[in-house]
Chains A and B, each alone.
Chain A
Amino acid sequence: MIRHTLHSGVCLTVTLAAMAAPVLAEPLTVSNWDGYMAADAIDTFNAATGNEAELVLHATNEEIMGKLIASKGAGYDVVFVSSPFAEVLHNLGLAEELDHDKIPNIANLYTEATELPHDPGNVFSLPYAWGTTGLCYRSDLVAEPTSWYDLLEPTETVSGKTTMLATDRWLLAAGQLALGYSVNETDPDKMAEVRDLLIKAKGTLLAYDDTTFYAKLVSGEAELVQAWDGWCNYGIGENADITYMIPTEGSDLWVDTMVILKASEHKDAAYAFVNYILDAENHRWAAENILYKVPNKAAMDGVDPALIETYPNMGMAPADMLKFEQLRDVGAAQRDYSRLVSEIKAN
């Protein structure tokens, strides 16, 4: 997933009182998507713990994965990646096996968030944000959609005004879900059906778009788009007629995680950092800034109710989200996925 900066310049009110006294200053390199933390998160962490954390940005999971695989994880201490990529880091032996004694704030997580299929028991990853992928639309311009087919086989009036996500896994997921298949389906015959459906859908699309789809909704250029729930919220913030819904065939459950690298030379500071993020106040502040749900019960309980009224998908219960399947690492089949996407885009 790629993220976007928003809500800069919001006043800072994080409680630092609860933070323990600094042990010793350690430099720490954290890689995250742009705008996916509160703008002040690093500074307040440094002020509270006496560490010298530095934030570097990656635009996509794939970008940071390329760097981590090339360097065997060296040069980074904590990275934010989506769960299938956390699995890869674990499979490659690059992810630290987490010592829960050093992360007391893990107790703040929802029970569901500690039993996620990609990493039951949080052995190597800590969930940071989670949500669903569905349809984001202009309720003043189109009838309420119900199915993925409303996107893939749009009516004549909506045709040419839809966008789909450009990232391989989510692009394919729209077709997989519509056909009733798993979002991790790799069977060649079933995937050929998915491909054919998506090739047909391509003819009706305005564009594939991962980054500006909500702006297209706001301008009216697009009326119905495939979107991550949190990102639909950026559109809702600009136009109250924009609405998010999950099609009847379902969604995926996406989880963005924090992973400590085994190669990290600053493990204490890395643990301090993830523990700091999982603090109820800090994680709440993150949710209110990025408008994504966080898997932290203590934090979500504190989120301003007015915010949930404006952005209803932020109020979705974990049990409801857990009905959906997570995208999982598919190993060697990823190459087949890439090829399918090339086929779809070449048609």
Chain B
Amino acid sequence: MSTDRRPMILMTPAMLWLFGLMVVPCVLILVLAFFRRGVYGGIEYTVTLENLALVFDPLYFKIFLKSAGIAGLSAAIACVLGYAAAYAIAAMPRRHQSMLLFFAVLPFWSNYLVRTYAWIVLLNREGLIVNLARWLGFEGELPSMLYSEQAVIIGLVYNYLPFVILSCYAPLSRLNPDISEASRDLGASGWTTFRRVTLPMTVPGIATGFVFVFVLSIGNFVTPALLGGGQFQMIGNLVYAQFLTANDWPFGAALSMVLIAVMLGLLMLQAVVAERASGRKGAQNG
């Protein structure tokens, strides 16, 4: 009896933590989204659907689409760069691999804000990159790279790239070298082998990396605020503004709810992809 209870006891703190700090706040957000904002902020307890309807108002929906676009582009770029890096690391002798992975995740040891601020130092009109270009003899006015959509994408790709490297490295390092060897024996070129054998077998890693970067990017508000110079509102900034400046908690809650739904949908999709892939592998092995 006592041995049966042990897993429960071990799990309780984590479950309480999750329930108290994840489930309860989410339910509060859900409930809040159906009330009305008072004239001075605050909440009027009359049930309404107008906050949810407002999310799909062209103005706010456009911000949603724009955020999805920026998140999608960042995720795609991070996947290309991350996959290439993971492929290169996996191709290295085993003893070097853990060192290289260590370097890949090294940036995570510093604070997100500091890492983002560093880009301001690099990219601004009087910044390191411009001064370096001047020192190398470039004359004339350089365009400001900072406070633009590109700067936001650079920031997001940079900050989340390590996730993709790790998620792609895992399946790449587990690939059985015999399989690609067999492909080559059967006459496939290196490119064909990669395209028809390696890539399909590592799709779950790419999907995981893509979804991670996308989900983290679409709700991000620090990077657009700092590197976008406040000129881009991503959905995260809009939510932030509703809670902290407009004092319109119900609308902020409605926006968050839709955002959470989109994220959950994507994570489920990713789980399905992963499930299918492992099922296929199981069938092959069987």
Tell me if B102 is interfacial: C-beta within 8 Å of chain A. no
Report chain B residues within 8 Å CB of A63: 244
Report chain B residues within 8 Å CB of A163: 229
Q: Mark A318-347, 1 if CB is under 8 A from B, else 0.
A: 000000000000011011001100110110
Q: Which B220-248 residues sit within 8 Å CB-CB of chain A?
A: 229-233, 238, 241, 243-248
Report chain B residues within 8 Å CB of A331: 39-40
Sample of 14 further A-B pairs with CB below 8 A, known A66-B243, A166-B230 = A62-B246, A69-B38, A70-B42, A92-B40, A205-B231, A209-B229, A220-B126, A331-B40, A338-B241, A338-B245, A338-B248, A342-B233, A342-B241, A345-B230
A69→B40 contact, CB < 8 A: yes
When A166-B230, A220-B126 are in contact, do A66 and B147 touch as well, CB less than 8 Å?
A: no
A332→B39 contact, CB < 8 A: yes
Report chain B residues within 8 Å CB of A219: 124, 126
Q: Which B32-53 residues sit within 8 Å CB-CB of chain A?
A: 37-42
When A206-B147, A342-B233, A345-B230 are in contact, do A60 and B244 touch as well, CB less than 8 Å?
A: yes
How close is A79's CB to chain B, nearest CB, in angstroms? 15
How close is B256's CB to chain A, nearest CB, in angstroms? 16
Tell me if B29 is interfacial: C-beta within 8 Å of chain A. no
Report chain A residues within 8 Å CB of B87: none
When A208-B230, A345-B230, A345-B231 are in contact, do A69 and B247 touch as well, CB less than 8 Å?
A: yes
Interface residues on B, range: 20 to 34
B232→A345 contact, CB < 8 A: yes
Tell me if A168 is interfacial: C-beta within 8 Å of chain B. yes
A and B contact pairs by CB, cutoff 8 A, 30 listed: A62-B246, A62-B247, A65-B41, A65-B247, A66-B247, A69-B38, A69-B40, A69-B42, A88-B40, A91-B40, A160-B144, A163-B229, A166-B230, A202-B231, A205-B229, A206-B144, A206-B229, A209-B229, A221-B126, A331-B39, A331-B40, A332-B39, A335-B37, A338-B241, A338-B245, A338-B246, A342-B59, A342-B63, A342-B238, A346-B233
Task: Report how far A166 CA is from B42 CA in the complex, Å.
Answer: 23
Q: Give A161's nearest chain B residue, CB to CB.
A: B125
Tell me if B158 is interfacial: C-beta within 8 Å of chain A. no
How close is B96's CB to chain A, nearest CB, in angstroms? 42
B231→A207 contact, CB < 8 A: yes
Report chain A residues within 8 Å CB of B37: 335
Tell me if A147 is interfacial: C-beta within 8 Å of chain B. no
Report chain B residues within 8 Å CB of A346: 59, 62-63, 66, 233
B59→A208 contact, CB < 8 A: no
Task: Report how far A167 CA is from B40 CA in the complex, Å.
Answer: 17
B59→A343 contact, CB < 8 A: yes
Report chain A residues within 8 Å CB of B247: 62, 65-66, 69
Q: Which A90-128 residues sit within 8 Å CB-CB of chain B?
A: 91-92
How close is A136's CB to chain B, nearest CB, in angstroms? 17
Task: Report how far A208 CA is from B40 CA in the complex, Å.
Answer: 25
How close is B236's CB to chain A, nearest CB, in angstroms? 13
Task: Report how far A166 CA is from B60 CA in the complex, Å.
Answer: 19
When A69-B42, A220-B126 are in contact, do A207 and B233 touch as well, CB less than 8 Å?
A: no
How close is A192's CB to chain B, nearest CB, in angstroms? 13
Task: Report how far A163 CA is from B41 CA in the complex, Å.
Answer: 29
Query: Per a CB cutoff under 8 Å, which of B39, B40, B59 touches A339?
Result: B59
Task: Report how far A182 CA is from B208 CA in the complex, Å.
Answer: 53
Report chain A residues within 8 Å CB of B233: 342, 345-346
How close is A7's CB to chain B, nearest CB, in angstroms? 24
B229→A208 contact, CB < 8 A: yes
How close is B220's CB to chain A, nearest CB, in angstroms? 16
